[in-house]
Structure 1
Amino acid sequence: MEIVVEEGDVMAEHDIVILGSGSLARSVCYSLALVSPNESVVTVVSRTASSSAEVCYIADVRATLAGTAVKFRPLSLGRYSADSISSILRQTRPKLVLNCASYQSPWEKIYSPSAWTTLMSRAGFGITLPLQAAVAIEASTAVAGLDSPPLFVNACFPDAVNPLLKALGLPVFCGVGNVALLAASLRESLRPDGAGRLQVLGHHWHLHTPPTDADDALAWLDGMPIHGVGSLLRRQRATARSELNIVNGLVTALLLAGIVSGREMWTSLPGPLGLPGGYPVRVHGDVIELNLPEGISQSQALFLNSQWAERDGVYVEEDGKVTFSKQGFLQVRSELPDFASTVPATDIPGICSRLLEVRSRLRLMQAASGGNSK
């Protein structure tokens, strides 16, 4: 196990540990540098020492120019295993851990198209659950093993990964992105006077335009239903997903800063307490609870999110049964003939390993052919 310390003073309590150094992790750090209200330390952990150091340098410069008291410290590890993550958490003793690391980049199909990305496009996003969940499982396992566990927040497909963690008996506080992005976009479109209590019930699936208006996310402003949600989200849905991480980073940074400082927040988040999909919530320190509008019960909200999850290609039931869509199942069966449409949550790490083998093979096949996947 390799753990590399890039800066001194790692034995002091660090308020936040961020796993990953990709576009979302960077956006979160660059936003935290501007919005952290109190003196704090953010530790950025990745598998590449230079990446962690780069993120922390940029964030530190931004914090200095903005006059905030947040500092960033880089660390690196050989692999995202529960043991290596646990070792870092014992060093840093954070209040909160944010996981932004997974084994599948959403940008691969843009920058490195191949037979693998073609398979993923045909199978649908839900089939990536094992690749999105693997690091989250290791990180949550590390958190669970600590005497004083920090809050664990997951940024990787939280609408489905968080219920998976819950089914495995692992801790998860909430997710970020997805319904939180929908809420941010709706607030910009509506621009309500004053604070304006906005409540959004939605799913990762709603990042794209649904087939009909009746299938869209639901929203309320000061207790009153908002009509024409789709039209209010039109600008967001027309924007490149890579650009949206700039907004996601700020939304996430505001949430993390609020949690660490103990500020009460009324917002909308994916996967709170391991629930599937996204919900309006109240967050106050280490307490999170649903804040559903009048007339919507928790069972109704869960039912709606279960329907949206099935359309997104994967649904995780409370008993840990994971069901992939027929489309995704059939596409993957072409490469893994014994792939099952329904599996227990405990099988997900093994499926991740098998999908990574398929990915390596399909990437090599594409490289050998010397062409692009159309």
Structure 2
Amino acid sequence: MNNARKIMVLGAGDIGRRVFHELAHSPNPRHVQLVGRDEETVLKAANLTRFCSVQRGYSNEVSHAQTDVTDVARTAERISAFAPDIIFLAVSYQSWWVISTLQQDAFQRVYAANYGPWLPMHLVPVMKAMEAVRLSGTQALVVNAAYPDAVHPALTAIGLSPHIGIGNVANNVPGITAVAADELGRSTADVEVRLVAHHYVSHRLSRTGNSGPAGMGLGIRLDGRDVTGELDVAELLNRLPGAYRRTGGLPGQTMTASSALSVLEPLADGRDAVVHAPGADGALGGYPVAIENGKFRALLPDGMTADEAHAINVSGQLHDGISEIRADGTVVFEPSAMAIMKEELGYDCAEMKLSEAEGRAREIAERFAAYRDRTAR
């Protein structure tokens, strides 16, 4: 398969394995490689994917390699050896769902801080992976799964932002599309949703049916015509946690994997597409995005300006616990969110330079481990 597109999945956790598995199941020629820190895990996952692919009649090449993303030089060597066209980063020191393993009352207290204060746990491994990307000399497109809404604008300051993110804003678009199509009595193929929303909003929608105190932008088109004003949007969204509720938590990462594939597969196949994605070209928050010749262009709801869309995402960022991401990459955290982290974990950080992020990640990990032990008693 000399013309096969080469896709490296860096990170062999739940989302990395799910996406890797699906990428191999394609009639289009591909070579997919799973890279993780544990040799046994990546070997077995790669073999499972290869065998399932063969069972279904596909013959794409499947391989694996071992590295720890914290070892920048070794990771760069792995990238150079494989020479990927696309790299999918599925690396994080602590996945979003881990706090849900706490005792319920402890979980609810920590959950109230929202996602922003946990940024170092996602930013640091992505930063190290991008250092390896730079060192390897690859020209691969890099797609990131770890909190792109905030990780990408922070890393843009040092030229290390991945090209585009996945998930978050994208995860609610199918549900909104289905609700609107059913309301209009049409197929989902006839309905186009354009959603501008930060992680904070996308995290709320399927659970509460609204964006809470943060802004969001939504346009609904039918046969290419904007019909948003003809619909009771608030009532439609309110159905998401009702009749249109779906499996959430760790099993619900099937949705995030599908969102990842909606971005990765057009890039792998060299075709244009309209998707939803956070962090495209370092953008703050999430947008509808047109993929055109491997490049990205924001595709906003009818009548919305770029400044209005940015303001919507800044609003979501604020309620996610981040007051500001400065031009030099320094992150200023929202005091009310950090107050919860201080009360529960004993962790306090008003602002963080990129050079401080690794130390902050270690501190959060240590304090969270102690908190989990303490609240489990």
Give the TM-score of the pair, scaled to structure 2. Answer: 0.84
1:283 corresponding residue in structure 2: 291
Look up the match of 1:220. 220
Query: Match of 2:362, SS?
Result: helix
How many Å separate the matches in 1 of 2:214 and 2:106? 34
Out of 248, 269, 273, the position equivalent to 2:277 is 269
Distance 1:244 1:114, change over 3 A: closer
The 2-side partners of 1:259 and 1:44 are apart by: 18
Contact 2:219 2:302 in 1 (8 A): no
Amino acid at match of 1:200: L
Question: Following TM superposition, by how much is the alpha carbon of 1:277 offset from its aligned partner in structure 2, in angstroms?
Answer: 0.8
- The separation in 2 between residues aligned to 1:68 and 1:205, in whole angstroms, is 39
> How do 1:102-251 and structure 2 match up within 5 A?
102-111=92-101, 113=103, 120-191=110-181, 193=187, 194=189, 196-206=191-201, 207-208=203-204, 209=208, 210=210, 212=212, 215-216=215-216, 218-221=218-221, 222=224, 224=226, 225=228, 227-228=233-234, 229-234=236-241, 239-251=247-259
Give the alignment of 1:291-310 within 5 angstroms.
291-310=299-318
Cα 1:54–1:162, aligned 2, differ >3 Å: closer, same or farther?
same
Moved more, 302-311 or 251-260: 251-260
Provide, for residues 79-98 of structure 1, a one-character-per-residue CA deviation record: whole Å limited to 9, x for no partner: 53322221110111101111
In the aligned structure 2, how far is the partner of 1:253 from the partner of 1:266?
Answer: 13
> 1:7-156 counterparts in 2 under 5 A?
15-34=6-25, 36-111=26-101, 113=103, 120-156=110-146
Q: 2: CA distance between counterparts of 1:337 and 1:27?
A: 35
8 Å CA contact 2:86, 2:142 repeated in 1: yes
- Aligned-residue offset at 1:66: 2.8
Q: 2:338 touches 2:350 (CA, 8 Å); kept in 1?
A: yes
Q: Which amino acid is the alignment partner of residue 285 of structure 2?
A: G
The AA in structure 2 aligned to 1:106 is: W
2-side partners of 1:214 and 1:47: how far apart?
A: 38
Contiguous gaps of at least 5 residues in structure 2: none
Task: Give the whole-Å Cα distance in 2 for the aligned partners of 1:48 and 1:113.
Answer: 29
1:341 paired residue among 350, 353, 356: 350
For the residues of structure 1 that align with 2:83 and 2:330, how far apart are their CA atoms? 34
CA shift in 2, pair 1:212/1:334, >3 Å: closer
Q: Name the counterpart of 1:5.
A: none
Alignment partners' CA distance in 1, 2:105 and 2:239: 36
Counterpart CA distance in 1 for 2:323 and 2:61 is: 39
> Following the alignment from structure 1 to structure 2, what is the Cα–Cα distance between the partners of residues 338 and 214?
25
What secondary structure sits across from 1:281 in the alignment? strand
Q: 1:303 to 1:263 in 2, by over 3 A?
A: same
| Residues 1:353 and 2:362 aligned together | yes
Q: How far apart are residue 12 of structure 1 and its match?
A: 11
The percent of aligned pairs where both chains have the same amino acid is 22
- The residue that corresponds to 1:6 in the other structure is none
Task: Find the aligned partners of 2:347 and 2:120 in 1 and give their Cα distance.
Answer: 16
Is the 2:86–2:141 contact (alpha carbons within 8 Å) kept by the matching residues of 1? yes
Contact in 2 for aligned 1:126/1:314 (Cα 8 Å): yes
Deviation of 1:308 (Å): 0.7
CA distance in 1, matches of 2:15, 2:288: 22
**Aligned-residue offset at 1:242:** 1.7
Say if 1:267 and 1:282, in contact at 8 Å, map to a contact too.
yes
Once residues 12 and 114 of structure 1 are traced to their aligned partners in structure 2, the CA distance between those partners, rounded to angstroms, is 51
Distance verdict in 2 for CA 1:171–1:110, change over 3 Å: closer
Structure 1 residues 26 and 311, CA, compared in 2 at 3 Å: closer, same or farther?
same
Q: What CA RMSD, in Å, does the superposition of the two structures yield over aligned residues? A: 3.0
The alignment's TM-score, normalised by the length of structure 1, stands at 0.85
Q: Any unmatched runs of 5+ in structure 1?
A: 1-8
1:84-141 deviation line (CA, Å, top 9, x unaligned): 2211101111011111110112332344559996774353321110001111001111
Aligned residues: 358
